[in-house]
Amino acid sequence: GRVAGHTPGPAAGGRLPRLGSRGDGCLHRPGKRGGSVAAEATGPNPTDRARPGTKRHVLTDAHGIPLAQRLTPANQNEITVFEQLLDAVPPVRGRVGKPRRRPHKLHADKAYDFPRARRALRARHIQGRIARRGIDSSAKLGRHRWVVERTFAHLNRLRRLSTRYERRKDLHDAFFTLGCCLLAFNHLSRLC
């Protein structure tokens, strides 16, 4: 005779039994570690035994207030987001006339020592002070660099940013933006 297709119904507790069909057959199976969403935001960290990681880029003013920020995979070069950071600075209100969008002077470390970065600064009429690899010592630039390092230290005090727990880039970027907003708010509240 004919075999009747039987799908077991819910068990006594309202759950489906462990063995049996779940309807459409689409079960969530483990796939590639990290998933496709996390793959776009992480890369093998060259300084941490190739563990997947994220690099944070911040452009600050002279007081350490973050003006623009970006996230990239850990293995991506800094020069790839340099122009994006410069263009992401919001206009500054103040005097009557056209608001100033860009800083007058920019200090950067040796990671940005590329002709492409210097051309980008000249095109935007920004005076650049980028340490040259093999020529300038890092001690000279440290007088200006500590401001950015202090900003990173303040961001690392926030637990959600010191260790990345989120797999999705948009969530980590949201926490990163929120951390930068908190730093700006704290600085402005001290002024008032």
CB 55 within 8 A of CB 64: no
Whether 10 shows a pLDDT value over 90: the answer reads no
Share of the chain above pLDDT 70, in %: 68
Q: Which of 145, 182, 190 is nearest to 160 (CA)?
A: 182
Average pLDDT, the chain: 76
Task: Identify the pLDDT of residue 169.
Answer: 84
pTM above 0.75, yes or no: no
Task: Identify the pLDDT of residue 129.
Answer: 85
CB 51 within 8 A of CB 75: no
- List pLDDT tens digits, range 103-122: 788 888 888 888 999 999 99
Distance of CA 43 to the CA centre of its chain: 12
Task: Identify the pLDDT of residue 177.
Answer: 92
Decide which of 175 and 75 is more confident: 175
Decide which of 124 and 27 is more confident: 124
Residue type, 59: L
- Average pLDDT (124-147) is 77
Task: Identify the pLDDT of residue 185.
Answer: 92
Query: Read out DSSP for 37-63?
Result: HHHTT-EE-TTTTT-EEEEEEEEE-TT
Listed in sequence order, the residues at least 6 apart from 25 whose beta carbon sits closer than 8 Å to its beta carbon are none
CB 77 within 8 A of CB 63: no
**Weakest-pLDDT range from 26-30, 68-72, 107-111:** 26-30
Whether 126 shows a pLDDT value over 70: the answer reads yes
- Confidence at 167, pLDDT banded by 50, 70, 90: confident
